[in-house]
Amino acid sequence: MAKNDLIGGALWEKYSDKVSKRMNNPKYMGEISEEEASAKGAKLVVADFGADSCGDAVRLYWMVDPATDKILDAKYKSFGCGTAIASSDVTAELCIGKTVDEAVKITNLDVEFALRDTPDTPAVPPQKMHCSVMAYDVIKKAASIYKNVDMSVFEDEEIVCECARVSLSTIKEVIKLNDLKTVEEITQYTKAGAFCKSCIKPGGHEERKFYLEDILRDTRAEMERERLNSGPDDKAFGELTLIQKHKKVEQVIEESILPILNADGGSVEVVDMKEVDDYTDVYIRYKGACAGCASSRTGTYEVISDTLRKKADASIRVHIL
């Protein structure tokens, strides 16, 4: 089924090709049985989370190695729209290979970013951004079940909107990534402020620590200071924001790596980036001829790693998804 058949009208233009592909051909939809987990000496975790705001729900399955806490496999069932299916599919994929502690650091922004065709173009229209928010909670629910603790243990984020479960860091990152200028745009992208509205400004039925109006004002001011101070080319890699680092890595890949891979019908994309201790972890996915090439984890991998370390920064570690 074509993307325009799924969505219809001009709206389909606002969805990335990755979202369309995940809607039509999800990779990780399904179940993991107790028998399958036991056969690999793993523990089965089944976590449910539903979004009251839209009626969508997701059930996440993890197969976890109890000796290492590593997630060996992940699948899901999604009860919702096509965007929820696409988001859930990427959520499951991002979990595989990570430890439980690493997985709880995955946010809805990571999920949405992984669905983008290009780093600067949102994967979905703003009114569907909330579909990725479920990932933020269902992963923590799964981790809490595995560790037999309350979900609040993993809440190291300040929640601004309790109705939509949107954190302060998520709102700030969405403002920066999409150059948002109004509270209405924040609500469109995240659903924060769409329901009880207490988080928009003081005077609602419930007092909040942070309000969207203040966050927007302060974040826009921070963006302006960053713009005036210097651009990415004027700073050391370690002084850049994660967004600026991502752009630097993309620039190196486009200028120095893609021409080599494209010559043989291959390509590579950056799926995610994380700052871990003193390192910048870059997660890549091969495309085209590179996807099935025997050297993708040897010679090609070394070329990509060496190029990024030399032309971007020595702190970069490359991981293949």
Q: Which residues are identified as catalytic?
A: 54, 131
Secondary structure of residue 4 in the 3-state scheme? helix
Dist CA 108 CA 122 (whole Å): 13
R_g of the chain computed on alpha carbons: 20
Helix (H) or strand (E) holding 266: strand 266-276
Quote the Cα angle for 283-297-43, to 5°: 65
For residues 268 and 258, the answer to whether their CB atoms sit within 8 Å is yes
Contact by Cβ (8 Å): 295, 272: no
Q: What is the DSSP string of 42-108?
A: -EEEEEEEE-TTT--EEEEEEEEETTTTEEEEEEEEEES-HHHHHHHHHHHHHHTTSBHHHHTT--H
Q: Are 228 and 203 in contact (CB under 8 A)?
A: no
The answer to whether 219 touches 176, Cβ cutoff 8 Å, is: yes
Q: Tell which residue, 204, 209, 163, 207, has the closest CA to residue 187.
A: 163
Taking a C-beta distance cutoff of 8 angstroms, is the pair 177, 189 a contact?
no
